Structure 1
Amino acid sequence: MDKIIVGISGASGTQYGLKALEILKQCDVETHLVISKSALQVMKHEASQITSQDLENLADIIHPVGNIGATIASGSFKTKGMLITPCSIKTLSEIATGVTSSLLTRAADVVLKERRRLVLMVRETPLHLGHLRSMTTVTEMGGIIMPPVPSLYTQPKTVDEIVHHSVVRALDLFGFDFDMPRWQG
């Protein structure tokens, strides 16, 4: 069975992480979830209808953010890679420098060193030069920066449709193939 790590950091947009777990739950893939402390705080303010238990119920394995001895902290634990959604600038910056302070960024660091797929759905705007340099650094290291930008050609009618499409596009990068509206030309 394929394994994928889903990270949720303290940027706005916990709904993206929830949607990723919902979609992956329908697949033959084992999900490993790690949520930052900041993500839990943000979630209380912008998505009070979502609880940490909701997220944990969708994941196969939950890793406490402080457990640096978890399986996902080792390169010998094979995965398809890691999706961090949403990805805060702090998380991006730790990954770019390799100076990791939690299991969330340690797991991303391991994914990069093992040359596996790392997709960061960075949620920040506007961006200053430091943000852009961190994005460039992660890209040069093999990561993919994929801000959740809505595809308006799908003519979404709800916020959930926008979130769903963005997450499916991110999961496409891991080789998954989901039914969704695609550009027809």
Structure 2
Amino acid sequence: MAYVKKQRAISLAWTGASGAPYGIKLLQCLLVADYQVFLMISSAARVVLATEHDLKLSANPEKAREQLLSYFAEQQVELAGELIVLGKDEWFSPPASGSAAPKQMVICPCSTGTLAAVATGMSNNLLERSADVVLKERGQLILVPRETPFSAIHLEHMLSLTRNGATIMPAAPGFYHNPKSVQDLVDFMVSRILDHLGIAHALTNRWGYGTEAAQDIDN
């Protein structure tokens, strides 16, 4: 397949950790913001998507792409960007090479298995290789692990990645914005990811700027 390089491109990966709604919402926001998104989905991620989001995606990348676009169309979401779903062995795709890969990548949700693979430079599949490329090219890699509790092994991998330039953002939504629904919690976490990517959004009120924050804290 021939790829056309876009001005704004990003790699996104979904792995087998709980937190599929975070990944779906983040993908939606990136496409709405007119990004070219190279999406990688692990086999375990497809199981989680079917369980947590009632979204059963095909293992065929092109069929999965069509399913996701149909899903957003059903939600009446207007997408301006381009979605490209990649298989785990598509070694000739842009994310596999430092000469072509987007400078930004998010793994959301990120399993502890993927965390370990990236921390140790395994690169056994396109997803792991893509993360390795972003690190070696001094790009921006964000990992959103969802596990509890963390073992010393998990924490050591996070520390290693942080020391090598990655950003660890555990799926730990705040409550100071008085969430009224699960979607509010999802939006909070996605908004923090978008902040770090430098992408404008209006998902949540910012601290000090919402109506609640304007009230006297002593009242």
State TM-score, norm by structure 2: 0.79
Tell me by how many angstroms 1:86 deviates: 0.2
Instruction: From 30, 34, 45, give the equivalent of 2:36.
Output: 30
Residue matched to 1:73: 96
Shift of 1:95: 0.5
Among 8, 13, 25, the alignment partner of 2:14 is 8
> What is the letter of the counterpart of residue 51 of structure 1?
K
Task: Show the counterpart of 2:205.
Answer: 181
Q: What 5-or-longer segments of structure 1 have no aligned partner?
A: none
Q: What aligned pairs does 1:46-57 form with structure 2 within 5 A after superposition? A: 46-48=52-54, 50-52=55-57, 53=64, 56-57=68-69
Q: Contact between 2:12 and 2:39, CA under 8 Å: does it hold in 1?
A: yes
Give the match for residue 169 of structure 1.
192
Report the aligned-residue RMSD.
1.6
Partner of 1:159: 182
Give the letter for the 1:11 counterpart. A
Secondary structure of the residue aligned to 2:106 is strand
Question: CA offsets, 1:30-83, max 9 Å, x none?
Answer: 1110001111122222222x2324774266111112223321111111424101
Is the Cα–Cα contact under 8 Å of residues 80 and 174 in structure 1 kept in the other structure?
no
Measured in 2, the distance between the counterparts of 1:22 and 1:72 equals: 20
Structure 1 moving runs of 4+ over 6 Å: none
Matched, 1:85 2:108: yes
Q: Aligned partners of 1:5 and 1:73: how far apart in 2?
A: 10
The answer to whether the 8 A contact 1:56-1:62 is kept is: no
Counterparts in 2 of 1:55 and 1:135: CA distance versus 1, 3 Å: farther
Q: Could you tell me how far apart the structure 1 residues matched to 2:194 and 2:22 are?
A: 12
Measured in 2, the distance between the counterparts of 1:127 and 1:33 equals: 27
1:16-165 pair list within 5 angstroms: 16-48=22-54, 50-52=55-57, 53=64, 56-57=68-69, 60-165=83-188
User: Does structure 1 conserve the Cα–Cα contact (< 8 Å) formed by 2:101 and 2:134?
Assistant: no
SS in 1 for 2:89: coil
State how far apart, in whole Å, the 1-side matches of 2:156 and 2:206 are.
Answer: 31
**Structure showing greater Rg:** 2
Segments of structure 2 that go 5 or more residues without pairing to the other structure are 1-6, 58-63, 73-81, 214-219
Q: Secondary structure at the match of 1:151?
A: coil
Amino acid at match of 1:167: V
